[in-house]
Structure 1
C-alpha cells in the first residue's frame, strides 16, 4: 500500500509510526520532557484509536483496551516503574482474554511445546536478570503474565507471524528492560533495542488482530472506516 493510500485509509497507523520514529530519534535530544513522553504515549495510543475505528466487534474493543493500557503504561513507567508495570500487567490480562477467545482447535505438538516454553521460560529468565534480588519475585510475577500473553497469542487463531511474532517481540523488549537492571546495565544494547522491539511488537499485534477480525466479521466494520 502506498504512503498516500495509508494516509487516506489508515491515518492513525501512519501517525502512530511517525510518533514512534520521532520518539526514538528525539528521546536523547534536548527537547522538553513532556514532549518526549507525549510522543511515546501517542505511539501506541494511536494504535488503540486505530483498533477502535477499524472494527465494531467486542474483540476489537478488547484490543483497544490492550493498546490503551499499553499507552498509559508507556507514560506511567516514565514516572513510576511500579505504576507502569501494573498498567502493562492489566494490558496482558486483557490480551490473554482476547487470545483465549480465539484458541486454535488443533495445534501440533511442536507448537504446543513452543508455547509452553514461552510461558515457562519468560518468568524464569526474568527472575534471573535483575541485580537487585529483592525485586526479582515481582519481576517474575509480572513476567508470568507477559509469558501468558505471548503463549496465548501464539496458540490463538490470529496469524502467528504477525500477532504471535509481535507478542514474542514484546517479550524480548521486556527481557531487555530486566537485563538492563542486571547483566546489561553498562551496555547500549537495551537503550537501542528496547523501543524498536516493543513498538514493532505492538504494531504487529494491532494490525494482525484487526485485519483478521475484518476478514472474519466484515459486517462489523465501522461505516467510517470503509
Structure 2
C-alpha cells in the first residue's frame, strides 16, 4: 500500500499502524503501564474509525463496532485476562455477524475440511494447553467462540488471503497466550509474538472487509472524512 495513499486517503490506518508499532517497542521501556494501555487500545480504535469512515453499510458499522470492542478488550486484558476475554467475545459475536451475512454458500470438500479443522481443532488445542486444568474448560469455551469467528471468516465471501488469514492469525495469537499458561510458561515467545500476530490479523480483517464492501457497494462509500 503506497505511503501517499496511507497518509492522504487512509490516515486512520497509518495512525493504527503507528500505535501498534509504538506499543510493541514501548513494552520494553520504563513507561508506566497506565500510559501504555491507551496506546495499545488506540491501535484497534483507529481501525474502528477507519471502518466507520470508509463505508456506510451495516456490515461496515458492525465491523467498526467489533474493532471498538477489540480496542477496549486490548486494554482490559492488561489488568484482567477474564474481563478482556469477555469483551473479546463481544468482538467475536459482531465479527461472526458480519461474516455470516456474507456467507459464500456451500463449501468445496477441501474447504469444508479446513472449516471443520478450525471449528473443532481450535477449542481442543486451547483445552489441552493450560497446565491448570481447572481453567481448561473456560479457556476452551472462549476458544469455541473464537473458532466460530475464524471458521465463519473462512466460509465468507471476503478474500481469504486477507480476512480468513487475519482471523487465523487471531487464533494463533490466542493459542500463544494459552501456551503461556502451559508449555511456554516462562518463555519470552508469547510476550514478543502475541501482539504483532494479533494486530496483523486485525489489520488484515479490517482492510479485507472494508475494501471488499467498497468495491461491492461503491454507492455507499463515505467521501467526506473517509477518503475516496
Aligned position for 1:88: 88
The CA deviation at 1:103 is 0.6
Aligned position for 1:152: 152
| Counterpart-to-counterpart distance in 1, 2:125 and 2:219 | 43
| Counterpart-to-counterpart distance in 1, 2:119 and 2:103 | 16
TM-score between the two structures when normalised by the length of structure 2: 0.97
Moved more, 180-189 or 163-172: 180-189
| Counterpart-to-counterpart distance in 1, 2:91 and 2:218 | 26
The aligned runs of 1:52-67 (5 Å cut-off) are 52-67=52-67
| Counterpart-to-counterpart distance in 2, 1:189 and 1:205 | 24
Q: Deviations over 1:30-89 (max 9, x none)?
A: 012222111110011110000000000000011011111011000110111111001001
The CA deviation at 1:5 is 2.5
| Counterpart-to-counterpart distance in 2, 1:60 and 1:41 | 20
The aligned runs of 1:138-149 (5 Å cut-off) are 138-149=138-149
The CA deviation at 1:106 is 3.8
The aligned runs of 1:176-187 (5 Å cut-off) are 176-187=176-187
Query: Which residues of structure 1 form unaligned runs of 5+?
Result: none
Aligned position for 1:204: 204
Equivalent residue pairs, number: 226
| Counterpart-to-counterpart distance in 2, 1:104 and 1:85 | 29
SS at match of 1:134: coil
